[in-house]
Amino acid sequence: LDAIVVRRRGAHATVEEWARHAGVPVVNGMSDRDHPCQVLTDLFTIYERRERPFAAKVAFVGDSVAMAQGYLGLSILCGLEVRLALPAGVSVDAELLKKAQAKANVVVVDDPAAAVAGADVVATAAWSKPVAKGFCVDDALLARASPDVTVLHPLPAQRGQEITDDVLEGPRSVAFQQAQNRLPVQQALLETIFQAS
């Protein structure tokens, strides 16, 4: 093998163990700690849609710690302004949050309306439990965002739960373009890794 992609909903330690023993590059396809391939695709999709992608104010609304921490990673790498709306009982790694806040304007709140206020990009993902009240990305929530807001969802969506049909299928959503971007972004990631190896 030239590389291994490990996608595991469980412990990030398993991904790290693969990396220690593999002898070839190991890519975290997703773990309980991070979802770097997805947020890289999200960033590329934002880049395609917005004139100044790195100046975008991004709000993530959901309970996925992996996605939330992936967005913190983007803040650390490129200074992206990120607002995380996480329900009660869901938290991100304190050290990672501190690093992100040292690089960019990053806040964590439990109020989706506050996170979305003035946001250029609103992202959500499927929930691991029933969606908390007020966390569904619908027209009422998006009314607080920028008028030209871009909506992201990695799919598959639990329609009517974390996102409504009219938003997912509407003109503000780029979820299907985002899904289409997965393959070329991951190909570019592997090519970059191989060139660096």
- Tell me: the pLDDT tens digits for 30-64? 999 999 999 999 999 999 999 999 999 999 999 99
Stretch (H or E) spanning 26? strand 26-30
pLDDT band at 8 (very low <50, low <70, confident <90, very high): confident
Structure tokens at 83: 């607002």
Encode pLDDT of 117-174 as tens digits: 999 999 999 999 999 999 999 999 999 999 999 999 999 999 999 999 999 999 999 9
The residue among 126 and 12 whose pLDDT is bigger is 126
7: nearest Cα among 157, 137, 186? 186
Give the pLDDT confidence of 63-110 residue by residue, as tens digits: 999 999 999 999 999 999 999 999 999 999 999 999 999 999 999 999
Residue 15: both structure tokens together: 């991904």
pLDDT at 11: 84
Compute the Cα dihedral for 147, 156, 68, 86 and give only its sign.
Answer: positive
To the nearest 10°, report the CA torsion of 145, 150, 153, 158. Answer: 60
Answer yes or no: are the C-beta atoms of 123 and 99 closer than 8 Å.
Answer: no
| Structure confidence at residue 160 (pLDDT) | 96
7 in Cβ contact with 14 (< 8 Å): no
Average pLDDT over residues 168-181: 98
The one-letter amino acid code at 8 reads: R
Q: In this predicted structure, what is the pLDDT of residue 197?
A: 80
Task: Determine the Cα–Cα distance for residues 131 and 147; give it in Å rounded to an integer.
Answer: 25
| pLDDT above 80 (res 18) | yes
Residues in the chain: 197
How far apart (Å, rounded) are the C-alpha atoms in residues 188 and 190? 5
The model's pTM is 0.95
Q: Which amino acid is at 97?
A: L
Taking a C-beta distance cutoff of 8 angstroms, is the pair 64, 174 a contact?
Answer: no
Rounded to a whole number, what is the distance in angstroms from the first to the last CA of the chain?
14
Residue 22 in this model has a pLDDT that exceeds 80: yes
For residue 12, the one-letter residue type is H
Cis peptide before 156 (omega within 30 of 0): yes
Q: Give the largest Cα separation in the chain, rounded.
A: 50
